[in-house]
């Protein structure tokens, strides 16, 4: 292509280093601008994974304006030359596709892999900056979060921990790596943390993490903040899961109920607070149903519904039946807290009031019966004089003071 450069005539005089006068003259003129035609090789690539190996697939294109002679394509791993392949002659707009040999990709490893066109630099190109592509290759692994909370505090809390396929052995028991228990054991072994497992009729059982006696034989677990109904060695985990092992006395992932007092008089009020605890803290549960049931050795019986919690997680109710009672809540999302240990209880007393109870025996003689009775005040205040009545078939027959 041609172009015009219009310059004004100009004379410039100066002395050179020898003191002689030098005249420089600029003259108007028209000049021809020439574009040099060159090839330009550009490379793109993709990475595929299979059977613990990776393969680099590439495309070399000539985006220049003239033919590119044959050249060499190279693969480098962590700056070390690993393989070369020939790129044939490419006309403008023409491409060549190929693939390098697979390379081992151990689970959890990371490599810097560069692929370069014209790696011997034998092609004079219009742009030499687009010949190489850098890949950060992370070999596939199951990356999970793992946390353990003992009674004294958090033992460890990690995110993005790589778990590879296979098995791990602890205390002579072999566990699948990609399970809630397997991930825990791998992390503890790799970081010098004590872990102990035994075998029970139900399978592998985690006895201890660390060395705090208060945690011994007290471990439970959750995956993504849900406590599964299977053992940790049977619970599969997937990429991005959050595995949480915790001392069960910390009351994670349970519908918890607490009371503002543990004793009240007949007809008095109690306030129950219902909460849910996860790794981010303890949260009030609104809309949970609160129940009061007779207390048995295994916990409260199915109880009487006494109210529903508000947005602050509280419910105030009155109670008039003397005795010891259990309280629990049922949340529509997180389920029931009926069998939480320890049980939440209160005692309803008749303090300041009498309490009359009657016992009787019946005797028979000459075709008649006689009712003998005893009235006892089991309260702690005097009972004034009252009347005791006898009914036969619902009909009042006799009264006594």
**What 3 state SS string does 333-348 have?**
CCEECCCCCCCEEEEE
Question: For residue 167, which of 155, 158, 176, 179 has the smallest C-alpha distance?
Answer: 176
In whole angstroms, how far apart are CA 96 and each of 21, 35, 198?
62, 27, 59
Quote the radius of gyration of the chain (alpha carbons, Å): 43
Is residue 332 domain-shared with residue 364, that is, in the same domain? no
In a domain, 233, yes or no: yes
What CATH number is attached to the domain comprising 259? Answer: 2.60.40.1930
Query: 270 and 226: one domain?
Result: no
Rounded to a whole number, what is the largest CA-CA distance in the chain? 165
Tracing tokens 């172009």 back to the chain, one arrives at 3
- Report pTM: 0.62
Query: Do 312 and 378 reside in the same domain of the chain?
Result: no
The enclosing H or E element of 183 equals helix 180-190
Identify the CA nearest to 261 among candidates 179, 346, 331: 346
Q: What is the pLDDT of residue 22?
A: 62
Pair (393, 373) in one structural domain: yes
Beta bridge partners of 259: 272
**8-state DSSP, 184:** H
User: In terms of domains, do 234 and 291 share one?
Assistant: no
The number of helices, as runs of H, and strands, as runs of E, in the chain is 1, 35
Classify strands 142-150 and 242-247 as parallel, antiparallel or unpaired: parallel
Do residues 230 and 204 share a domain? yes
The first and second tokens of residue 272, run together, are 């129950």
Q: Which pLDDT score, from 0 to 100, does residue 1 have?
A: 40
- Which residues are CB-contacts of 153 (< 8 A; sequence separation ≥ 6)? none
In a domain, 35, yes or no: no
User: What's the CA gap between 146 and 242, in Å, rounded?
Assistant: 6
How many structural domains does the chain have? 4
CB-count burial class (<10 Å; 0-12, 13-18, 19+) for 302: exposed
Residue 301 lies in domain: 255-349
For residue 185, the surrounding DSSP H or E stretch is: helix 180-190
Rounded distance between C-alpha atoms, residue 244 and residue 227, angstroms:
9
Is residue 29 included in any domain, yes or no? no
Residues 66 and 148 in one domain: no
245 and 147 in a common domain: yes
* Beta-ladder partners of 324: 347
With a cut of 50, which residues of the chain have pLDDT below it?
1-2
Provide the 3-class DSSP secondary structure of residue 313.
coil
Provide the 8-state DSSP code for 213. Answer: G
Residue 2 pLDDT: 43
């Amino acid at each position: 292509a041609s172009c015009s450069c219009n310059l004004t005539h100009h004379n410039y005089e100066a002395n050179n280093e020898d003191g002689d006068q030098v005249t420089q003259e600029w003259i108007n003129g028209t000049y021809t601008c020439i574009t040099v035609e060159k090839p330009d090789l550009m490379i793109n690539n993709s990475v595929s994974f299979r059977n613990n190996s990776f393969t680099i697939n590439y495309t070399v294109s000539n985006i220049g304006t003239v033919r590119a002679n044959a050249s060499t394509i190279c693969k480098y791993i962590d700056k070390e030359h690993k393989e070369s392949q020939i790129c044939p002659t490419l006309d403008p707009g023409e491409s060549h596709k190929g693939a390098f040999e697979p390379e081992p990709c151990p689970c959890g490893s990371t490599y810097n892999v560069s692929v370069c066109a014209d790696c011997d630099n034998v092609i004079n190109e219009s742009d030499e900056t687009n010949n190489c592509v850098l890949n950060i290759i992370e070999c596939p692994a199951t990356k999970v979060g793992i946390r353990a909370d003992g009674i004294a505090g958090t033992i460890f809390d990690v995110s993005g921990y790589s778990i590879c396929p296979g098995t791990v052995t602890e205390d002579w028991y072999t566990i699948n790596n990609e399970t809630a228990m397997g991930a825990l054991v791998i992390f503890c072994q790799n970081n010098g943390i004590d872990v102990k497992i035994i075998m029970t009729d139900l399978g592998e059982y985690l006895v201890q993490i660390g060395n705090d006696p208060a945690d011994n034989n007290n471990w439970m677990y959750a995956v993504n903040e849900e406590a599964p109904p299977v053992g940790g060695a049977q619970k599969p985990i997937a990429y991005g899961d959050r595995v949480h092992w915790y001392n069960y006395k910390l009351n994670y992932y349970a519908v918890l109920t607490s009371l503002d007092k543990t004793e009240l008089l007949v007809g008095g009020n109690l306030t129950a607070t219902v909460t849910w605890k996860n790794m981010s803290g303890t949260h009030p549960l609104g809309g949970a149903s609160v129940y009061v049931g007779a207390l048995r050795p295994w916990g409260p019986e199915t109880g009487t519904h006494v109210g529903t919690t508000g947005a602050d997680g509280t419910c105030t109710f009155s109670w008039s039946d003397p005795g010891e009672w259990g309280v629990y809540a049922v949340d529509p999302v997180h389920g029931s807290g009926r069998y939480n240990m320890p049980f939440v209880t209160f005692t309803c007393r008749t303090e300041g009031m009498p309490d009359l109870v009657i016992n009787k025996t019946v005797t028979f003689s000459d075709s008649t019966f006689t009712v003998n009775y005893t009235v006892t005040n089991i309260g702690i205040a005097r009972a004034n004089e009252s009347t005791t009545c006898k009914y036969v078939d619902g009909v009042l027959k006799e009264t006594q003071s």
